[in-house]
A and B are shown apart, each in its own frame.
Chain A
Amino acid sequence: MTAPAPSTSTETAGGEPAPAVELIDIDKSFGAVHANRDVSIRIAKGTIHGIVGENGAGKSTLMSILYGFYEADRGAIRVNGRPVRIRSSKDAIAAGIGMVHQHFMLVDTFSVIENVMLGAESGMLIQGGIKKARAEMQRLERDYGLSVDPDAVIGDLPVGEQQRVEILKALYRNCEILILDEPTGVLTPQETDQLFQILKALKERGVTVILITHKLREIMAITDTVTVMRHGAVVAERKTAETDREELAVLMVGRKVRMAPDRARARPGEVALGVAHLGLTDAFGVKRLDDINFSIRAGEILGVAGVSGNGQSELLEVLSGIRPPTTGVMHMLGRDVTADKPCSPKRMRRLGVAHVPEDRHRLGLVTGFPAWESAILGYQRDRAYGFGPIINTAAAARDCGKMMEAFDVRPQEPNLGSAKFSGGNQQKLILAREMARMPKILLVGQPTRGVDIGAIEFIHRQIVAMRDEGTAVLLVSVELDEILALSDRIIVMFQGRIVGETTGDRADERQLGLWMANAHADGPEAPPPGLPPLLAPELSSRSGKPGGRPGALPPGMKIRPRK
């Protein structure tokens, strides 16, 4: 996509200009964990350099060393050819290094300008600093096209703009080397495009960008060079133009991976879960869910796409019984659940509703428990674990061992603390627990968030296998690839409403992305330019009402029209 011209030309110029960043034999251990093994990377000035690897490959540790959170056990760092010693983020900033973290470090109640100058107020009184910051921000906007209203309050800004503020913060501190840690995890495809525009502008002005990600698509789209890490070591360096996604994927995991699981066509049966006019209003009177209508049949997967925070979490909470709905009705396996007739998570489980929660650390398991105790969470009253008030710990541990074996949870030690398992293994344990009792409805939230590629493949296969067994699956994910790979039908949520619906085989990324950003909420009849022909007739056949339900429903589905 992007021509690798700048980097090659400077390197072949012969004058050997010093690389912006040079990491030489960086080695770092945490106890017995060898996080970085003799990592050496050269990053040429004014390029976008990607670092890819699975979770736990050591990318973040490496960047934390560069940004001064950790000090390397061994090795050297050179910035612009000069050896530097970076012992704190202060040293890093002094060396011209800036970092945009995965979770933003912003004060929500402060304005943009206050956040930008935070920690660099220049002087006792704030007024002079603000004036200076304002002038500087105008210059940055001029130079890089980074436009953000300096007086807007951070909490009111969309995530994409918050991220821009983070970049502004770094540039305000005169950074020439910008590290971005998984910057696109929270962005819509459109916001991601905007971010990439900004990064390209930065590159043109000579800023060196280091992009940490595990999304290969982004690497291919924007970087000039890419370093692949595995098990703490660099396994390959490539010019982006000379490689492709498949090669990088193989390098990352050390073997071939299939990008999407093989799956047969769904053979849907009876409607297992039907939802009509479902609404949820929170304590502040904000509508978290607004007139949600859908149904899932046994043996099919309904994907719920959307940028996080648009009601998907609340939908899972309501469907699993954690929160009762405020309006509407859920028909679950022949039982009606409403605000007046709520159904506790305990009863839901008894009905045959299993729930793999989005937040596995706080909901899915108890990090302070050994694995076997987490493996009975929600089923602690199950007769399988003994009669009466006492838990048969041997039976529970045996069960946990069986789950671990079936789902390849490593290490296979039921007595090991839940927190000591990696994210992927924790997730596999939770899936094993929820799938063990052959639920009729399976609610799955972000099944592969923070999970490495090998485990993703396994988890996807398990979800499809459950579907083939006749379970109705509701899959909530912010990863479009995942939604597209698994879903038989897809709905898209935006601000608590369903704004789009399509079938799995007809869905395309671009259309879903537009729905996720609600980009055409006011004029659904006018399909955005460049829409693939496959979807165009569908769009034009829609009701015509603004915000009307797009996409054709599969035959036999009855959903009441929106008001």
Chain B
Amino acid sequence: MNATPAPMPRWLEIFGLPLVNLLMAMIVSGLIVLAIGENPFAAIGAMAAGAFGDLYGIGYTLYYATNFIFTGLAVAIAFHAGLFNIGGEGQAYIGGLGAGLMALLFDHSLTMWPMLALGLVASAVFGAAWAFVPAYLQAKRGSHIVITTIMFNFLAAALMVYLLVNVFRVPGSMEVVSRDFEASAGVPYVHALLTAIGIEMPQTPLNLAFLWALICCGLVWVYLWRSRGGYELRTAGLAPKAAQYAGISPNRVTIEAMLISGALAGFLGFNEIMGNHRQIVLDFVAGAGFTGIAVALMGRNHPFGIILASVLFGALFQGGSEVAFEIPTITRDMIVVMQGLVILFSGALAYVNRPLLEKLWKLYQARKNAKAAAVVAPVSPAAAPDAPVALAEETATLAATPAAPEPEALETTPMPKPAPVEEVLEVVEAEIVTMGPGAEPPPAAPRRKRGPKKSKRKPGEV
């Protein structure tokens, strides 16, 4: 039943809303591009071509997406436990330190796979350890995790500068980087693998860490929705009092969630340090920890949504730099503005467009009801011409109750395809046409939001 709290079906909320938000961001970006005298469509075209146009673009897009998946999952898992982990940036940084440290220590003695496994584990352990301190402080001392994780970002940055300058820097070198790793400490590149099986792909930083990111999505899903630990974590996040009632220690959940969150963020370091740079460098996280918050928000804290959102943000990063390259008046800073707009609309203003979408949905529902009324009582409108609306609604509820496509049914299935709805809409409009002038749809209905074909038909009959 579409009762007051959730009048929209879930698929619309999950897919429709982010798309509308994205559209808003694109419109505003377009206006800005227009204001500096460039063609917004050309800019969007260049962006899309840069991100997905060839294997080179795709490689970079997915490489960026890898980072966002890790940080997005990190934010999401903390969020499910009712915690806001803003420290993904620092945890990723320290995770990279862990991977790099292992590489520097063991790249001579270990072969590739043990080396990579060690690096992977080290990045997780280091990231988790960096998240543990704020988690412990929250659980035992009540220090707010938002504050402490932010502070730990700065600590991580300072620590890395110190270590790189004083410990890792190659003696005599002016560059603040460590020595290059041996080949055994490098994650295989995707382009190398593809070339080996005969597919030509230009060189990109995309490496097997992307595969690991996808596996992590699956693992996180299983953990959250199929494991006892995840059940307890979600209970503590959704209903802390119910968790206490059920004998779930909130402190344990806080620490457990933050450890997992930190480990996931740490994998970003693995992707960057052992996958891309193959040496320890400064500032390799480059804001991905914060972008992860927007990714998680846009992906609704669901692993599948996070993959989609990550690819989108990856495309923005990659496509953005292509645009800056192709259209010189659109500078790098403009691209940052556009990325900011996407984050603004899909993050901070995520629910601003909800009422609008809700209204559209209601209009659509009203049309559907009108159709049902027309089917059940085709003669009645003439009989009671002064109250067609109320009559239509009443018969509609009568008719709709036993009918199959109740929104409630849609809600229980996780992701029904939106396609059938459009078919229904088509039928609805066909029905409206067949009805006489006495059987108008409810007064609010005839505003339309559909394709041009139907709009042309409408003016004739209303």
Residue from the list B1, B226, B241, B247 in contact with A321, Cβ < 8 A: B247
- B245 engages A357 (CB within 8 Å): yes
> Which residue of A is nearest B247, CB measured?
A346
Interface residues of B in 243-259 (CB under 8 A from A): 244-249
- What separation, in Å, do the CA atoms of A114 and B412 have in the docked complex? 49
What is the bound-complex CA distance between A402 and B229, given in angstroms? 25
Shortest Cβ-Cβ A-B pairs, 5 listed: A346-B247, A345-B247, A31-B2, A378-B246, A32-B1
User: Are A380 and B242 in touch, CB under 8 angstroms?
Assistant: no
Which residues of chain B are near A390, meaning CB under 8 Å? Answer: 222, 226-228
Q: Helix, strand, loop or mixed for chain B's interface?
A: helix
- The stretch that binds A, out of B158-166, B232-240, B321-329, B432-440, is B232-240
List A contacts of B408 (CB < 8 A).
420
Given A31-B3, A391-B226, verify A368-B239 contact (CB < 8 Å): yes
Asked if B55 lies at the interface with its beta carbon under 8 angstroms from chain A, I say no
B residues engaging A (CB < 8 A)? 1-4, 7, 222, 226-229, 231-232, 234-235, 238-239, 241-242, 244-249, 390, 393, 397, 400-401, 406, 408, 411-412
Q: Which residues in B have their C-beta under 8 angstroms from that of A364?
A: 242, 245
CB-CB contacts below 8 Å: A14-72 with B: 27, 29-34
When the two chains form their complex, are residues A389 and B390 in contact, meaning their CB atoms are under 8 A apart?
A: no
B222 closest partner in A (C-beta): A390
The answer to whether A367 and B239 touch (CB under 8 A), given A378-B245, A378-B246, A389-B228, is yes
The binding surface of chain A is classed by DSSP as: loop
**Does A73 sit at the interface, judged by CB under 8 A?**
yes
* In contact, B227 and A377 (Cβ under 8 angstroms): no
Question: What is A's interface to B at a CB cutoff of 8 Å?
Answer: 27, 29-34, 73-74, 320-322, 344-349, 355, 357, 359, 362-369, 373, 376-378, 380-381, 389-391, 393, 413, 415-417, 420
Return chain B residues, CB-CB under 8 Å to A346.
246-248
Contact A373 B231 (CB under 8 A): yes
Whether B397 lies near A381 (C-beta < 8 A) is no
For residue B390, which residue of chain A has the nearest CB? A74
Taking a contact as CB atoms closer than 8 A, the residue among B1, B228, B229, B247 that contacts A31 in the complex is: B1
CA distance A344 to B235 in the complex (A): 17
Residues of chain A with a CB closer than 8 A to B2's CB = 31-32
Whether A33 contacts B245 by the Cβ 8 Å rule is: no
Q: Which residues of A contact B227 (CB under 8 A)?
A: 389-391
CB-based contact A322/B239 at 8 Å: no
- Contacting pair A363 B397 (CB below 8 A): no
Instruction: Establish whether residues B245 and A322, one from each chain, have CB atoms under 8 Å apart when the complex forms.
Output: yes
16 of the cross-chain contacts (CB-CB < 8 Å) are A33-B1, A73-B393, A345-B245, A345-B246, A347-B247, A362-B241, A366-B239, A377-B246, A378-B245, A380-B228, A389-B229, A390-B227, A391-B227, A413-B412, A415-B412, A417-B411
**Contacting residue for B4 out of A31, A349, A377, A391, CB 8 A:** A31
Cβ contacts under 8 Å, B235 to chain A = 366, 369, 377, 380
Q: A380-B232, A381-B228, A417-B411 are in contact. List 19 more A-B contacts (CB 8 A).
A: A31-B3, A32-B3, A32-B401, A32-B406, A73-B393, A347-B247, A348-B247, A357-B245, A363-B242, A366-B234, A366-B239, A367-B239, A368-B238, A377-B235, A377-B245, A380-B235, A391-B227, A415-B412, A420-B408
Query: Max chain A CB contacts within 10 Å: which of B242, B406, B408?
Result: B242
B195 to chain A, nearest CB (A): 40
| Chain B residues with CB below 8 A from A348, complex form | 247
- Residues of B within 8 Å of A380, CB to CB, are 228, 231-232, 235, 246
Q: What CA separation (Å) do A34 and B396 show in the bound complex?
A: 12
Please report the C-alpha to C-alpha distance between residue A349 and residue B247 in the assembled complex, in whole angstroms.
9
How far, in whole Å, are A381 and B222 apart by their CA atoms in the complex? Answer: 16
